[in-house]
Amino acid sequence: MAIVLVFAPSFVTSFSISSSIPSNFLFIFILMWYLMTTAFILEKFLTWFFNVYIVTDERIIDIDFYNLIYKEVSDANIDKIQDVTYNMGGVIRTMFNYGNVMIQTASEVPNFEFLAVPKPDKVARVLQDVRVEEEQEKIEGRVR
């Protein structure tokens, strides 16, 4: 998407419509276009970079960065996990082995979604293993 936005002004200027527009207006339009494209790319990068999913032996934490002024942090104890599922829909996701992991919990936030994670099958397996280990610790009476 970003590549299309970057090269769009060169396609527009190649048509005869751009010759009827004064060069000053065309320059300002292209400058504004690139500023908006840069802002779009920066926001998409920040959203990708700051969306963090943390799995520890005691809890899961989901940090969702929606935009520059709003983020959401959710966490749940491992023993509250009820169900873990994952999906990899489409050719591209299957080819590059990434997908979504959905975690259903019995906590205040009922569902956690880990979106576009690499190796979602491994993430789901690790979550199941940690959950089983936590249940075993409760049965044996071990406390951390």
Both 14 and 64 in a single domain? no
Residue 106: per-residue pLDDT: 87
Tell me how far apart the alpha carbons of residues 100 and 24 are, in angstroms, rounded to a whole number. Answer: 47
> Number of structural domains, the chain?
2
Residue 16: per-residue pLDDT: 61
With a cut of 70, say whether residue 12 has pLDDT above it: no
For residue 71, give the CATH number of its domain. Answer: 2.30.29
Q: Which pTM does this prediction carry? A: 0.74
Both 87 and 113 in a single domain? yes
Helices (H), the chain: 2-13, 23-50, 91-96, 120-140
With a cut of 80, say whether residue 134 has pLDDT above it: yes
Domain residue limits at 30: 2-47
pLDDT digits (tens, 9 = 90+) for 62-98: 999 988 889 999 999 998 999 999 999 899 999 999 9
CB 47 within 8 A of CB 72: no
Both 134 and 74 in a single domain? yes
Both 32 and 98 in a single domain? no
Summarize the confidence of residues 39-43 as an average pLDDT: 91
Half-sphere exposure of 143 (CA within 13 A, CB side): 0
With a cut of 90, say whether residue 54 has pLDDT above it: yes
With a cut of 80, say whether residue 6 has pLDDT above it: no
